[in-house]
Chains A and B, each alone.
Chain A
Amino acid sequence: MLDRTQQISAASWKAERDIMSADADPDRARRFRDAALPHLDDVYTLAHYLMRNQADAEDAVQECYLRALRHFDSYRGPEIKPWLLAILRNVCKTEFARQSERPVAIERSDDHAPVEPPAWQEAQSSPEVELLRRHDAETIRRLIAALPPQFREAIVLRDINNLSYRQIAEVADLPVGTVMSRLARARSMLRAAWNAEEEPKP
């Protein structure tokens, strides 16, 4: 754990130093801020569902923005959101690869512990209805988190981040047809998993 934290901090620190020295153009940095920061929630959302824990997600997002700033000059696309999400995705893949090289993998199965909503939410609901809703929301989150990565990614990009098929194809570097079949499969799996939750076979 220490090892990992040190590596991430070192990488981030190096990236920041690179920016400070390489970026003499405040106008460029301002353009980057204006273009990229509005998409922070979308980037964080994908990181959250890919990394499945908050610390890793935050590290990935920070690294994504630092990398994006460094490569902002090479950005030519009409839309910055898919470009940012593609960078985030690469950051996450690199991190997965790095983690899998280590002899002891971090156990992640319990990372997605549900968060209790504040007591003032849904005050008009009966406790039973509220319990049901909370249970369902937690269930959906857990089932999405349990999908294999490529299907999880497809469903997050489409159904949570609201990207078009072509944007998803750009982010994931896939043909549109593959995006489509993955998304269809992801939804089928999600639906099947929900059914299994609802009606466990005896």
Chain B
Amino acid sequence: MNCSEADVLINALLDGELDAGHASDVEAHVASCHDCADKLASLRAVRVAMASAGLKEMAPAALRDRIERALPAASASPAGAPASIARRAAPWRLNRRVFAGGFAVGTALSAAVAATLLVAVVRDDRDQKIASEVVSAHLRSLQPGHLTDVETSDQHTVKPWFNGKLDVAPPVIDLTAEGFTLIGGRLDDIDGETAAALVYRRRHHVINLFVARHPGGEHARGGSEIHHGFNVRHWTDGGLDFWAVSDINAGELDEFCKKFTAAAHPAPSS
């Protein structure tokens, strides 16, 4: 990745709009490029400043009243909720220091670069909804007695257990030697579909790896994000969607995902 590509993608990274693969590409570039690291810090500062400036407007109460009156139901149900009288947003708090530092005035951005790169890398809104479902399923699994339906560290026991329960055969991979112990599996529900949940343990942390059939016809999706303090990773491989969720740190979860996918493709060539 060069600086021109990174220039556009840094914004998407900051907005949480990049899939996992491109996010790590940009992060790798930023880690090795002083200019782009400065730019990321500077853009982050601009965003913080804007967020703290209270720029969102409240519709004037008179306008709200006018619109409500213009809607037929307003007269039909006079007991309806009164127009909420909005007060201006909280006093804004900009720390002037956030604007310290800088990047080049009038940074040249290539629209062509953006157009060709981004269509494929920006994630779906659907992913955000699913990510929150994945975290909910993870939280449910942590309730007493809910973690596993089949409890064993033997991958050859877990894999056949899913037979007939799902329309897909999830890869079940023991990663004990890699520091992630398979402790079992269960059936769960993601986005209205039955999914396999493979349960791993890292020290005292639980990792749920959800596997479901990838809906056909869509571009390969992927993502990396934090929901309610849990790290979530999503990738698509061999017609299956994978979501890994845990409270272990992002680096360890990335390591888990890499080890899992590497083990799922045991014969790497070139």
Contact = CB atoms under 8 A, between A and B. Distances in A.
A83 interface: no
A183 B105 contact: no
B111 interface: yes
B92 interface: yes
B53 interface: yes
Contacts of B92: 133, 136-137
Contacts of A69: 71
B211 to A, nearest CB: 26
Interface string A180-195: 1101110111111011
Nearest to A69: B71
Interface of B: 7-8, 10-12, 15, 17, 42-43, 46-47, 49-51, 53-60, 63-64, 66-68, 70-74, 76-77, 86, 91-94, 96, 99, 102-103, 105-107, 109-111, 113-119, 122, 124-125, 128
A111 interface: no
Contacts of B117: 177
A175 B60 CA distance: 33
A165 B119 contact: no
A58 to B, nearest CB: 5
Interface residues of A, number: 62
A107 B99 CA distance: 31
A160 B11 CA distance: 15
B53 A41 contact: no
Closest 5 CB pairs of A and B: A181-B114, A177-B115, A44-B59, A192-B105, A177-B118
A122 interface: yes
B135 to A, nearest CB: 18
A54 B111 CA distance: 33
A140 interface: yes
A141 B148 CA distance: 54
B55 A160 contact: yes
- Centre residue among B8, B91, B94 by max chain A CB count within 10 A: B91
Nearest to B116: A177
Nearest to B100: A198
Given A48-B57, A122-B91, A187-B43, A26 B122 contact: no
Contacts of A122: 91
A136 to B, nearest CB: 4
A159 B86 contact: no
A142 to B, nearest CB: 11
A41 B63 CA distance: 11
A129 B154 CA distance: 64
Given A137-B94, A194-B99, A29 B73 contact: yes
B50 A159 contact: yes
Contacts of A32: 71
A23 B116 CA distance: 46
B58 A164 contact: no
Interface centre among A26, A117, A121, A140 (most CB of B within 10 A): A140
B67 A65 contact: yes
